[in-house]
Structure 1
Amino acid sequence: MSVDTVSLTGWGRTAPTTAVRFRPRTYEEAATVVRGRGPRGAIARGLGRAPGDAAQNAGGSVLDMTGLARIGAVDPVAGTVRCEAGVRLDRLLRVLLPLGWFPPVLPETGRVTVGGAFGSDVHGRNHREAGSFARHVSALELLTADGEVRTVLPGTALFDATAGGLGLTGVILSATLRLRRVASSLMSVSTERADDLDDLLARFTAGGDRLPYASAWVDLLARGRATGRGIITRGEHAPQHVRPAHDRRILRAPRTGTAGGRGLPAAAGLLSLPDGPLGRASAALYNEVRYRSAPRARTGEPRPVPAFFHALDALPGVNRLHARGGLVRYRFVVGYGQEETLHRVVRRIAAHRAPALRAVLQRFGPADPGLLSFPAPGWTLALDLPAALPSLARLLDGLDEEVAAAGGRVCLAADSRVRPETAAAMYPRLAEFRELREALDPTGAFRSDLSRRLGL
């Protein structure tokens, strides 16, 4: 087991802190770290894709779980596979897809571990149909504060606290996932442009759930009549008869600089314009080209699975586009019937002229059972903003007030700055989580910068 002292940040590169990092390769090595933890406790970490401070532990121990990365054989009768916590989702996809199987939930990046996906209870574009990641886990192996390994099953309090529990109930060692059958390695994709936010929401709703995967890019720099304009992308798994002869080659990740409707626009070169790595002028030009280059309407376009689900993974260093201070991800959900709140949030961001290239709108279905799981029925918007943006803290505090007043919430797994009292108001089951955690871990074995900041 390797050990070193490192400075760590989240994917947004804000608020670095120093911890002792352990890289266990066996369950016993992981248990040794937990039993020998110091007064600052320990927290598990995967690939560091949490945008904020959920996988940091200043002055304590961090378990880098990427050394535990074995994938078991697929059970074709049960339709399941057992994976260790450090398995990357993009690697799992490459293993499963040629066998005709598919993970039922994929987030926007494949560079997430199985343990991180469960601990954050990630969602995908198909939440209305499939729910979040934890809904498809049939068993967990969890290393708890006493150094013992427990098998945790759905329907138990410990399972619900661990799903979206951000590593604070223990170290996830493995998970057994239920899979879905697919006929090919292609997606059938439909794309359409919307003129403004009203048009975007109307088109989203009118499309219903005829295609299971759906999301929209929103231009948050557009103002006036174009405020909230965007591009809706929907998809479904293509049937076998559309599979081309070169099917094996389409498992590759998409190339950087693909055309407008096919992941990132060819205009990705605009990111190096003279106003900085990503200033308002280059962001506005990028958004304009991206919007104009998308088709007004197109259906049935075959697209490789990685290009559809993980287009941003083809652009290395996308989290460094804002050079000074890193990125702050703001992800929130408000319920159906609260569309005016969504309108106000979009107008406020547009008025602030924040250069947010990434702004993704989705619809959620029924809430998931995790005590701190983020999804709830309604509209969710996620955006990345430069941490050095003037008055950013005031802007986001104001958005928190809008969201909380509408009965919504921000995503804790993505958070780096919400106030503790605001988080408590947004998550009514937080008291239940704290009570279970106190009973399971009375000495505070599992801690993170986020848990201390929010009093979790």
Structure 2
Amino acid sequence: MSIDKFEHWWRTEKRPRGAISPDDYEDRLGTVAPMAYLPFGNGLSYGDVCHNDRGTLIDSAKHGRILAFDPGTGVITCEAGATLGDILVKAIPHRFFLPVTPGTGLVTAGGAVANDIHGRNHHARGSFGNHVRRLTLLRSDGERLTCSAEENAELFTATIGGMGLTGLILDVELRLMKVPSPHVQQHAIRFENFADYFTLIDRVGEEHEYSVAWIDQLATGRRAGRGVLWAADHADASCEYPDIPKGPKVAFPLSPPFNPLNSVMLKALNGFRFRRERPGETVSTETWTSYFHAIDRLGAWHRLYGRQGPCQHQSVYPAENAKQTTIRLLETARRHGHASFLTALHRFGDAAGRGLLSFPRPGFSLTMDFANQGEATVRLLDALDRIVIEVGGAVNPSKDFRMSPTAFEASFPSWRKLEALRDPAMASDFWRRTALALNN
């Protein structure tokens, strides 16, 4: 039994959880009880999609080898427990890079598939599942299936974004992208309001591989909607930064008894963050670790949010009403007395996810993080859900721990197809309180 190893990122319910290795699970095939298991990667989901507290977790991180890599084509095969950082360490010396990477390299390949993660270049490359060539899936009846767009295609699309519910992913074959350098030339563009941002974003998306905006969620009046848009492209081959990152530079060993990231402190920090960027556009060359995975340099950064940890809300909504929806979401958070520091606004592209339950879809995605204030935070998150569903958007399950069944169904109307393909041995706390609640 372990508390820390098998906890999710929010740490909302710390409790001992049992886990077995993939080998032990395979030994039990033929005798597994219904809904008794769930694959577990590195626990970087913010909620309960990675937990099955009525059953046993399968510790996929036990199997994390790189199985094959072709430096000519950039096709790599790895076990499900290999992290994205492991893949980059193998690929970067040959000038290949992940076609999609989130804000951390600690996500496992299996977790990246199961949550169909996205990065700062969704407008250019789509989500992670768009680049998976095939995967091997172990079903509880003992079948070991190769799944791709051509073979077991229905199960393939259900597994991408399927939250680990279709079986145990054993390995993943992924096509990487060729880059002149892993590092990036960054364009930091300061904007004064939402009108400036929405004028900028289409041009920036057409001109650059990557883009993400930070918004000052606490700014009001004439400052409302101010922020910084970070666009980037891979630098040319002459860029000579070291390729392989070192470990975390700063670690937070303890959570303070109070929330240091309160509204007063964050208003000052947000103001400083905005003013440190010069007006207009600033171009600089950044290491890939600082641009893509800066958060990995901070060990246990969630402890900064106090003993109840952080909460995050991520939604996606249609482009036609994006400005008004974004304003409503930010205002609602302020009205509920919650302050967000890592407020990110992404422009998602038109490429549809390959998965039945892929979260990324055309439109805009807003992410806000808050210190967990218990029931007050739950009320806020429910209010944010209602705004998003009202305009035809969706809420991200991997950032959730209390979404209602109604909000889930509105976000993912194809969930019954996944339920029909779910491995009978697999279940999660999230699936029980959303999909299975709708079934009852």
State the TM-score, normalizing by the size of structure 1: 0.88
| 1:236-275 equivalences in 2 (<5 Å) | 236-241=233-238, 243-244=239-240, 247=241, 249-253=242-246
| 1:195-214 equivalences in 2 (<5 Å) | 195-214=192-211
Decide which of 275, 296, 306 is 1:313's aligned counterpart: 296
Partner of 2:21: 23
Q: Separation in 1 of the partners of 2:247 and 2:261?
A: 22
Partner of 1:138: 133
Q: Separation in 2 of the partners of 1:34 and 1:128?
A: 42
| Cα distance change, pair 273–79 in 1 and its aligned pair in 2 (3 A) | closer
| 1:41-52 equivalences in 2 (<5 Å) | 41-52=36-47
Count of matched residue pairs: 430
In the alignment, is the contact (CA less than 8 A) between 1:15 and 1:53 conserved in 2?
no
Decide which of 187, 191, 197 is 2:184's aligned counterpart: 187
Deviation at 1:201, TM superposition (A): 2.2
Deviation at 1:35, TM superposition (A): 4.4
Q: Separation in 2 of the partners of 1:388 and 1:230?
A: 26
Matched, 1:377 2:362: yes
Amino acid paired to 1:379: F
Decide which of 281, 287, 290 is 1:304's aligned counterpart: 287
Partner of 1:159: 156
Partner of 1:80: 75
Partner of 1:13: 11
Q: Decide which moves more: 166-175 or 141-150.
A: 141-150
The Cα offsets for residues 194-253 of structure 1, whole Å up to 9 and x where unpaired, read as 112222222222323211100011111112221221111011111113x23xx3x24325
- For residue 54 of structure 1, give the secondary structure of its aligned residue in structure 2: helix
In the alignment, is the contact (CA less than 8 A) between 2:256 and 2:303 conserved in 1?
no
Deviation at 1:17, TM superposition (A): 4.5
Amino acid paired to 1:359: T
Partner of 1:445: 425
Q: Separation in 2 of the partners of 1:68 and 1:324?
A: 32
Q: Separation in 1 of the partners of 2:375 and 2:139?
A: 43
In the alignment, is the contact (CA less than 8 A) between 2:8 and 2:46 conserved in 1?
yes
Partner of 1:148: 143
The Cα offsets for residues 273-332 of structure 1, whole Å up to 9 and x where unpaired, read as 997432222222211111111232344411111111011111222211221322221000
In the alignment, is the contact (CA less than 8 A) between 1:191 and 1:234 conserved in 2?
yes
Partner of 2:421: 436
- For residue 275 of structure 2, give the secondary structure of its aligned residue in structure 1: helix
In the alignment, is the contact (CA less than 8 A) between 1:18 and 1:59 conserved in 2?
no
In the alignment, is the contact (CA less than 8 A) between 1:217 and 1:231 conserved in 2?
yes
In the alignment, is the contact (CA less than 8 A) between 1:334 and 1:407 conserved in 2?
yes
- For residue 185 of structure 2, give the secondary structure of its aligned residue in structure 1: strand
Identity of aligned residues (%): 34
Matched, 1:63 2:58: yes
- For residue 173 of structure 2, give the secondary structure of its aligned residue in structure 1: strand
Partner of 2:218: 221
Decide which of 162, 170, 173 is 1:173's aligned counterpart: 170
Deviation at 1:393, TM superposition (A): 2.1
Q: Separation in 2 of the partners of 1:381 and 1:52?
A: 18
Deviation at 1:343, TM superposition (A): 1.7
Partner of 2:394: 409
Deviation at 1:84, TM superposition (A): 0.6
Q: Separation in 2 of the partners of 1:225 and 1:42?
A: 52
| Cα distance change, pair 174–321 in 1 and its aligned pair in 2 (3 A) | same
- For residue 70 of structure 2, give the secondary structure of its aligned residue in structure 1: coil
Q: Separation in 1 of the partners of 2:428 and 2:420?
A: 18
- For residue 418 of structure 1, give the secondary structure of its aligned residue in structure 2: coil
| 1:92-103 equivalences in 2 (<5 Å) | 92-103=87-98
The Cα offsets for residues 248-273 of structure 1, whole Å up to 9 and x where unpaired, read as x243259758xxxxxxxxxx99xx99
Deviation at 1:18, TM superposition (A): 4.1
Matched, 1:345 2:325: no
Structure 2: gaps (5+ residues): none
Partner of 1:286: 269
The Cα offsets for residues 48-76 of structure 1, whole Å up to 9 and x where unpaired, read as 10000111111311011111111133224
Q: Separation in 1 of the partners of 2:393 and 2:35?
A: 32
Deviation at 1:33, TM superposition (A): 4.6
Decide which of 359, 363, 379 is 2:347's aligned counterpart: 363
- For residue 214 of structure 1, give the secondary structure of its aligned residue in structure 2: strand
| Cα distance change, pair 274–224 in 1 and its aligned pair in 2 (3 A) | farther
Q: Separation in 1 of the partners of 2:107 and 2:425?
A: 24
Deviation at 1:30, TM superposition (A): 3.6
Amino acid paired to 2:348: F
Partner of 1:262: none
Q: Separation in 2 of the partners of 1:389 and 1:221?
A: 21
Q: Separation in 2 of the partners of 1:72 and 1:273?
A: 42
Decide which of 129, 147, 151 is 2:124's aligned counterpart: 129
Q: Separation in 2 of the partners of 1:190 and 1:432?
A: 42
Structure 1: gaps (5+ residues): 258-267
- For residue 69 of structure 2, give the secondary structure of its aligned residue in structure 1: coil
- For residue 93 of structure 2, give the secondary structure of its aligned residue in structure 1: helix
